[in-house]
Chains A and B, each alone.
Chain A
């Protein structure tokens, strides 16, 4: 890493239940797909390292862990997001209609510094399925009305466009980090409790 500041991007994926959020993550990071739907379990966040314009970045992609089903994602989930990925199912019109409320919910909960410039990316998933209910044109119109959100049509099942979409997500998140003053580092030097720190010295302990 060129700069001392490590480039870690937190990306969160939002959208109605069963639009394929977990599958998209899983396809992108693990190149796996399961055809059998089950409510998200065990899916927490996945991490992938990638190179964007000669920079190595670590992208941490956070799943909703099923807490979206009854609109019960807590504010903690949204903390420090660098990019928000909205997902709908191109065969299910209701999931498209929900996009506005997911976007609003994000802006309220995450309350980013510049809401109008915060990077969203829209994914229309399940393009391998028929019948199609939401046309690309309609999705693009929605994106235009929201300050030109990038739009990708994906199939988590076939891995179609998934790589490209996440690359765009990383780029947008990164652009956001670069343009606003140290977005990620709004609260620098926060402590993470991890096992490795456990062995940390007793440096200043007076009891010894």
Chain B
């Protein structure tokens, strides 16, 4: 608090969501001086995870943006358009105190008498919850996982693989047969169907061949023409390619291939999830940025920024003005005047705490559930997280629902909730999980937002989460922006392993060799490749990092 920021940076990043944090890491990594700030006192913005208490308290949008800009010539950050809407939360069981907030109109008021969970004891466990505003999975062989590995950022996170994939079919939940052994173990599929399915899955690899003649057709038409049975079409269309009826053939095949290619790398399914929630991901990139000299300040009061000669010039914090060549900001922080779109698409979101799994089984802790579109309702993705995901206490489940918004989050999910969860009214449905708490909101889709032409060309705008299951679109976006910002610089080259960096010796490079030899048998990380790279560190505010793959210079200051 007593510290001042330097007066000048190469790059100021406002916001700590995934895309802007990737850019921050990438810029710091190639030696740019980066200041990353956030008005929130937590990382992640719309990509953050919250404790139970903090998600309830959080307003997710702060202030009134009808600013009086003329006074100071400062443009204020933020706009009214891009924020969470329709927020409604509720505890669904009797509470010891009557402070229950009722902001939605969900029914199911009656309580099962013997329910041991109360509002009070859920709140006691508040910090055991890591509730993602927007949960994301990662394809085991997707661009994002490859980036985490190639850049060495993977060391800041731990993962779970999704333990099973379920699909709603014939009015019940079924396992999705996705791997060879699943297909053969599946009793719902006839032998003939098994052969058909295997043949199709194997042949999907040859995309070019398929797409011919299907340029303007849907994936569903393609599958129908392949003479697949309705069973199989259901599995492949809604499950393996998580597509809708109107998904194009090309997209459907691409999605199915990504799914199939990611099988067999980690665990039984193609998906990974970051332990403790998706909010860890932006923090991992921020950590790398910090390790390479990035300056971080959360909970900042930011007055605004200034533009002169059509260029971004500086950001004014509470008591200090900081200049930079470039500004990266999250779309949430962009002043409304730079947004051309006046209407946004929304993603419906619902988060539930439940008392058991939708489909009990001994070891399942992370289930991905596809609920195909029905009667004009959107395709719904459900992610159920158990204790081992590090996102909820033992014996409870955290359930996330995601769909393109049609009407409102409550209406969009009512049919799914009716099918999967016990309504308290009909107490007979013992098998189904009871809902203990629910949280609904609408998340703006900002990936395709149109920006105004007079946005200065040294300002770069990062979108929030989009509807895809994974981060690959966000990585693409970050890469694209980075290329615009620094066309000649490499995007997130491999960061040296910690043991490759030795900081702060005066003049004895040889000695560092000695020490390495002395500690020769030291096992650094059981899982990690051993590297005996000797790093020299020089004085004068310089840390020279020499790694096997590249020789970079990271000049501090």
Measured CA separation A58–B527 after assembly (Å)? 12
Given A74-B286, A191-B160, residue A41 in contact with residue B543 (CB < 8 A):
yes
Measured CA separation A36–B542 after assembly (Å)? 11
| Nearest A-chain residue to B290, judged by Cβ | A65
In the complex, whether A206 has a CB less than 8 A from a CB of chain B is: yes
Measured CA separation A205–B512 after assembly (Å)? 45
Residues in A whose Cβ lies below 8 Å from that of B388: 187-188
A178-208 contacts to B, CB under 8 A, are: 187-188, 190-198, 200-208
**Which B positions have Cβ atoms within 8 angstroms of A?**
1, 3, 42-43, 127-128, 145, 148-149, 154-161, 178-183, 198, 201-202, 204-205, 260-261, 263-268, 272, 275-276, 279-280, 283-284, 286-287, 290-293, 295-300, 388, 390, 498-499, 501-506, 512, 515, 519, 522-529, 537, 539-541, 543, 545, 554, 556-557
* CB pair A47 B498 closer than 8 Å: yes
Which of B523, B525, B543 contacts A42 (CB under 8 A)? B543
Residues in A whose Cβ lies below 8 Å from that of B42: 74-75
Measured CA separation A167–B201 after assembly (Å)? 56
Residues in A whose Cβ lies below 8 Å from that of B261: 205, 207
Which of B293, B298, B390 contacts A72 (CB under 8 A)? B298
What 3 A-B pairs are tightest by C-beta distance, nearest first? A34-B504, A70-B297, A193-B154
Given A41-B556, A77-B287, residue A49 in contact with residue B276 (CB < 8 A):
no
In terms of DSSP, what is the predominant structure of the interface of chain B? Answer: loop
Measured CA separation A197–B141 after assembly (Å)? 12
* CB pair B160 A192 closer than 8 Å: no
Of listed B148, B291, B295, B502, residue having the most chain A CB within 10 A? B291
* CB pair A196 B527 closer than 8 Å: yes
Q: How far is the CB of B485 from chain A (nearest CB, A)?
A: 21
Measured CA separation A197–B280 after assembly (Å)? 21
Residues in B whose Cβ lies below 8 Å from that of A155: none
Number of A-B contacts (CB under 8 A): 213
* CB pair B276 A200 closer than 8 Å: no
* CB pair B529 A206 closer than 8 Å: no
Q: How far is the CB of B476 from chain A (nearest CB, A)?
A: 20
In the complex, whether A160 has a CB less than 8 A from a CB of chain B is: no
In the complex, whether A44 has a CB less than 8 A from a CB of chain B is: yes
In the complex, whether A154 has a CB less than 8 A from a CB of chain B is: no
* CB pair A43 B291 closer than 8 Å: yes
Report 17 cross-chain contacts, Cβ distance below 8 Å, ordered by A residue: A26-B503, A33-B505, A38-B541, A39-B556, A44-B287, A49-B522, A65-B290, A76-B276, A77-B283, A187-B158, A190-B275, A191-B161, A192-B158, A192-B159, A205-B261, A206-B178, A206-B198
Q: How far is the CB of A63 from chain B (nearest CB, A)?
A: 8
Given A67-B290, A204-B263, residue A76 in contact with residue B554 (CB < 8 A):
no
Residues in A whose Cβ lies below 8 Å from that of B293: 39, 41-42, 66
Measured CA separation A38–B302 after assembly (Å)? 27
| Nearest A-chain residue to B282, judged by Cβ | A74
